[in-house]
Amino acid sequence: MARVNALVITGYGTNCEQECAHSVREAGADSADIIYFSDLAAGHSRLDDYNYLIFPGGFLDGDDLGAAQAAAQRWRWLETEDGKPVLDQLKAFFDKGGIILGICNGFQLLVKLGLLPAVGGKYFERQVSLSYNDSGRYEDRWVHLKSNADSPCVFTKGLDTMYIPVRHGEGKIIPKDEALLEELKNQNLVALQYVHPETKEPTQEYPYNPNGSPCAIAGLTDPSGRILGLMPHPEAFNHPTNHPHWTRGEVSDEIGIAMLKGGVNYLKGL
């Protein structure tokens, strides 16, 4: 059985790295290291020894210029001391079969890098963005999600509905045009949607859809299914007592770790 070595990238405003590392270990990863992006850029660490990469939530660069915009430029243009682009490591990581999970700020980074949604196999070409919530405010609440059974996403395989928290101010998907939005639906790249708690159907109703994303999009995958970006925080529901109503016995069947476990199972061939 393959070994799962997870890497959690931190620095420049990231603030959920410890929860992510803990959650992926609980999900069955053999190891989970936390490394600063600056160490990658300096050549002190490399992506070569890992096959599970997590971009956690946070406030990269204080969200100046737009959420994760500065970080995306950093990934695109920085070089290591030997003159090699840091981005080459990320490309090589994905090309050799690694999986990537971007949560909240990490999702914002993936779309601005162009790793998601990669419609037509066009990786590293920006096709969508994430902008301010329709509410005009930072949303900190728990939401109901439903996974797309027809999606190729390895992280959501076998999952149905979930109840996990969101914490963001810029979570609304903005596609470059309506044609692209249709492609996201037609190619089943919409991996997760916000749903109404009673009907379990995708909803545009606030606060169940906390940001107003079209088609109730909460998470996107790429054509390979090996990349997932989502605004909700599965790592923040890593134990039954994290549930806001656990003292009333209202604990969900699936805690957030189930999503991270999907990635572990894929790498282990389960």
Task: Map out the domains of the chain as residue ranges.
Answer: 5-268
Task: Please identify which of the residues 104, 139, 144, 254 carries the catalytic annotation.
Answer: 104
Residue in 15, 7, 77, 66 with CA at minimum distance from that of residue 41? 77
- CATH code: domain 5-268 is 3.40.50.880
Using CB atoms within 10 A of its CB, is residue 230 exposed (0-12), middle (13-18) or buried (19+)? buried
pLDDT tens for residues 137-191? Answer: 999 999 999 999 999 999 999 999 999 999 999 999 999 999 999 999 999 999 9
**Average pLDDT of the chain?**
95
pLDDT tens for residues 95-134? Answer: 999 999 999 999 999 999 999 999 999 999 999 999 999 9
233 given a catalytic annotation: yes
pLDDT tens for residues 65-105? Answer: 889 999 999 999 999 888 889 999 999 999 999 999 999 99
Alpha-carbon distance of 196 to 131, in angstroms, equals: 22
> DSSP secondary-structure letter at 242?
G
Q: What is the pLDDT of residue 137?
A: 97
104 given a catalytic annotation: yes
Residue type, 265: N
239 given a catalytic annotation: no
Task: Please identify which of the residues 19, 26, 235, 254 carries the catalytic annotation.
Answer: 235
Other CB atoms within a 10 A radius of the CB of residue 269 amount to 7
